[in-house]
Amino acid sequence: MSDNFILQTGKNDVLRITVYGINNLQNSPCIIYVHGFKGFKDWGFVPYLGDYFSKNEFSVISFNFSHCGVGENLLEFDEPDKFAKNTFSLEVSELNQIIDAYIKGFFGKISGKGVGLLGHSRGGAVALITGSKRKEINAVTTWSSIAKLDRYTERQKQEWMKNGFVEVINSRTNQVMRLDISLLEDIENNKNTILNMETAVSNLNKPLLIAHGEQDLTVPIEEAKMIYNWSNKDLTETYFIPAIGHTYDIKHPFDGSNPKFEHLLEKTKTFFKSNLN
């Protein structure tokens, strides 16, 4: 059973949220799913994983970042102006507000058991940065996570600063989407402090599962190995999956699972069962 919520942020933005396993809230640990760049809470495998974990005695919170580009429609990028203004710092702030809302009972009375973060792609980086600062987070899993927030060449950055924006293509919808200079400024201004990935992972010091497809062309597996190298090896597991890419052969719209994705779910479930109860 799932339920939908709207949370207004401190900046008067809107977070659209789905909680799977709402009936598990009072008795079970919670997993907060963090979507990636050009992702959203109803993309492809997300509802499927919400159902999977809720059937395995977790509650699962999935949500759309306020500036992910997907608005009331829930399935289309209908807010390009907000997408253009998104930043890593904004996403970290909003994930913190989701954690606060859960702890304060916004979604209903909670069990007091552990809370885990599950982040995909860019969401993995946001989960690691946030998890390293929150004592309430007991374990983190990353799927296909980036290790480098600065993913742009010097030439791209120069053009970005000159024009005030850079354009990216959404390969699924063929939309041309803008990123304003605010994202580049956020990365440049905070890369040595609050958005430093090496520092965040080094300071995490809680159970971490790093899952990655060995044929990921979007985020090379070398970035997963970077995260592992920064981590506390006594608390970290890796799960590298051969012959599979960034979304584990899952498409949007969702047209079914596959054995490797099912194994990933099983591995993640086992990890959270061990570290959240």
Per-residue model confidence (pLDDT) at position 197: 98
Closest among 96, 23, 99, 34 to 63, alpha carbons compared: 34
Structural domain containing residue 258: 2-150+194-276
pTM of this prediction?
0.98
Domain presence at residue 260: yes
Phi, psi of 184, deg, nearest 5:
-60, -45
Domain presence at residue 181: no
- Assign residue 52 the CATH number of its domain: 3.40.50.1820
Domain presence at residue 271: yes
Per-residue model confidence (pLDDT) at position 172: 87
What CA–CA distance (Å, rounded) separates 113 from 24?
11
Angle at 220 between CA 260 and CA 171, to 5 degrees: 80
Per-residue model confidence (pLDDT) at position 264: 99
Domain presence at residue 189: no
List the pLDDT tens digit at each of the 277 positions of the chain.
899 999 999 999 999 999 999 999 999 999 999 999 999 999 999 999 999 999 999 999 999 999 999 999 999 999 999 999 999 999 999 999 999 999 999 999 999 999 999 999 999 999 999 999 999 999 999 999 999 999 999 999 999 999 999 999 998 889 999 999 999 999 999 999 999 999 999 999 999 999 999 999 999 999 999 999 999 999 999 999 999 999 999 999 999 999 999 999 999 999 999 999 8
**Length of the chain, please?**
277
Domain presence at residue 184: no
DSSP string, 188-245: HHHTTTTT-HHHHHHHH-S-EEEEEETT-SSS-HHHHHHHHHHS-GGGEEEEEETT--
Assess contact for 32 and 84: CB atoms under 8 A.
no
Per-residue model confidence (pLDDT) at position 277: 84
Domain presence at residue 8: yes
CB environment 9-48: b (16+ within 10 A), e (fewer): beeebebbbbbbbbebbeebbbbbbbbbbbbbbbbbbbbe
Residue spans of beta strands (DSSP E) within 49-199? 59-64, 115-120, 139-143, 165-170, 175-180
What CA–CA distance (Å, rounded) separates 141 from 244?
18
Assess contact for 56 and 269: CB atoms under 8 A.
yes
Domain presence at residue 34: yes
- Residue partners of 182: CB distance under 8 A and separation at least 6: 85, 87
What CA–CA distance (Å, rounded) separates 269 from 277?
12
What's the structural domain count of the chain?
A: 1
Domain presence at residue 94: yes
